Amino acid sequence: MHQKTLAQLSALLQSKQVSATELARLYLDRISASNLNAFLHVDPELTLAQAAAADARLAAGNAGVLTGVPIAHKDIFVTRGLRSTAGSRMLGNYTSPFDATVVEKLAAAGMVTLGKLNCDEFAMGSANENSYFGAVKNPWDLSAVPGGSSGGSAAAVAARLTPAATGTDTGGSIRQPAAFCGITGIKPTYGSVSRYGMIAFASSLDQGGPMAQTAEDCGLLLNAMVGFDEKDSTSLERKPEDFNRLLNQSLQGLRIGVPKEFFGEGLADDVKQAIHAALEEYKKLGASIVEISLPKTELSIPVYYVIAPAEASSNLSRFDGVRYGHRAAEYTDLNDMYTASRTEGFGDEVKRRIMTGAYVLSHGYYDAYYLQAQKIRRLIAKDFAAAFTQCDVIMGPVAPSVAWDLGAKSDDPVANYLADIFTLSTSLAGLPGMSVPCGFGQGEKNSRRPVGLQLIGNYFEEARLLNIAHQYQQVTDWHLRSPE
Ligand code: GLN
């Protein structure tokens, strides 16, 4: 049962072959038996109460397609019933008085919350090793990282501890862990999914999205997650759409843009081979390959690591031990209280970003760093606009290598930043991006570690991306493999 996709579980619930309560118990048991450190907060009583309510809806005949299906939330989404820590000691004991819009929408659809998922502290990281609550293990190889920052989400779906999870992507945090754990994830166009109640990291980049086994499942989740929210000032007002409406459309004539900058020296051979094999599969489906160029790809790293920390330094100023967060037990005066609380509450990577951010925003450096970065950000978006005159979708690797070993890069922030090279530019441009399992590499240890194919679409082309991913998933089974 736990191998079933969300769509399959939904069908079984609708036809009363399984109950929401049975599913909730099944996954709760799997969660308590797992050793991945993927879940931070679980409350079986709360879960079973939601499942009972879902069963009542199913019995009364007013259930939707997601009613009774379990889900777990990245611990960056605030929840009333469960603690919300953002992977930080700063919020170690925090319980929100309200639910994030995403949580509320999925609950309104009747989904049953299994718990909250581990993540990098304030979503800063690429390996889930920056969590105050410890690293998450990759279910394919317990000595590998699951990717980050939504590492708990990806590991939990891959290990079938939940059929679906929410994630957030600021610079790749849905796509890269999805790739490292062999699952499917999509970051929609910036502004599609409400940021209300998503603990802020870099507000002009942060975007929530679904992570699940298949593209079809992601579409079902997007249908419930997307929508205008007056509580989020950057939320987009658009007509509702069915993101799965194009799933079965043929790919005959599809033009796939392959950026030459994504296949340079830094790309590992095993990843390159898997991506090329996937492109061959697409040719068989009727697509053609067009070589394109995204010349600013390399600059996306310095640009992102100026803009994201700048926004983070501002967003995280609210955690001062007074308005929010951990307060030090001992201090001499007010200033010392702030200093001691923030020193104790934040981890190293978060401090590094706050300092970098404050620096690039300070008088005299603003023009040299922050303003320059904003200008290049615009040029990066222009590169994509030019590329989309030549192709319908862009494809390449999600990351330059498969998952690395736990600890291998934990002392080297720059090595972590460099691994984000293929995901950052999509985020900077606000475009939708997706990760689709497309094979396995070896890693350094000769173990089987998943490879993710990245699909990047033009603005609001989510339905098309899901179609392109779904067609591939009809002729391959990488997305159905599981580590057990
Ligand atoms: N790895 C990137 C970072 O550390 C992206 C994180 C994210 O998307 N939340 O900032």
Active site residues: 74, 149, 173
Candidates 179, 214, 174, 177; CA nearest to 190 is 174
pLDDT score of 446: 72
pLDDT value of residue 447:
81
pLDDT at position 444: 66
Of ligand 1's listed atoms, the one at least distance from the Cα of 126 is 1
Establish whether residue 124 lines the binding site of ligand 1, counting it when its CB lies within 6 angstroms of any ligand atom: yes
Instruction: Please tell me the predicted confidence (pLDDT) of residue 293.
Output: 98
Q: For 346, what's the count of Cα atoms within 13 Å in the CB-facing half-sphere?
A: 26
Element (H, E) at 39: strand 39-41
Please give the model's pTM, rounded to 2 decimal places.
0.98
| CA of 148, closest atom in ligand 1 | 1
Atom of ligand 1 nearest to the CA of 169: 8
Nearest to 130 by CA among 64, 85, 164, 191: 85
Rg (CA), the chain: 21
Q: How far apart are CA 387 and CA 469, in angstroms?
A: 20
* 363 burial via Cβ count (<10 Å: 0-12, 13-18, 19+): exposed
Cα(156)–Cα(163) distance, integer angstroms? 8
Sheet containing 164-169: which strands, arranged edge to edge?
39-41, 112-117, 70-74, 164-169, 207-212, 184-187, 433-441, 449-456, 393-397, 255-259, 288-292
Write down the pLDDT at residue 157.
98
DSSP 8-state assignment for residue 237: -
Binding site membership of 173 for ligand 1 (Cβ less than 6 Å): yes
Tokens 């009972």 — which residue? 52
Residue with CA nearest ligand 1 atom 4: 125
Q: How do the residues of the chain divide into helix, strand and coil, expressed in percent and rounded to 5?
A: 40, 15, 45
The confidence score (pLDDT) of residue 442 equals 85
User: Which of 166, 175, 307, 420 to mutate for ligand 1's pocket (most ligand atoms within 8 Å of CB)?
Assistant: 420
User: Ligand 1 center to residue 169 CA distance, Å?
Assistant: 7
**Looking up tokens 């019995």, which residue turns up?**
59
Per residue of the chain (484 residues), what is the pLDDT tens digit? 999 999 999 999 999 999 999 999 999 999 999 999 999 999 999 999 999 999 999 999 999 999 999 999 999 999 999 999 999 999 999 999 999 999 999 999 999 999 999 999 999 999 999 999 999 999 999 999 999 999 999 999 999 999 999 999 999 999 999 999 999 999 999 999 999 999 999 999 999 999 999 999 999 999 999 999 999 999 999 999 999 999 999 999 999 999 999 999 899 999 999 999 999 999 999 999 999 999 999 999 999 999 999 999 999 999 999 998 999 999 999 999 999 999 999 999 999 999 999 999 999 999 999 999 999 999 999 999 999 999 999 999 999 999 999 999 999 999 999 999 999 999 999 999 999 999 999 876 778 999 999 999 999 999 999 999 999 999 999 999 999 7
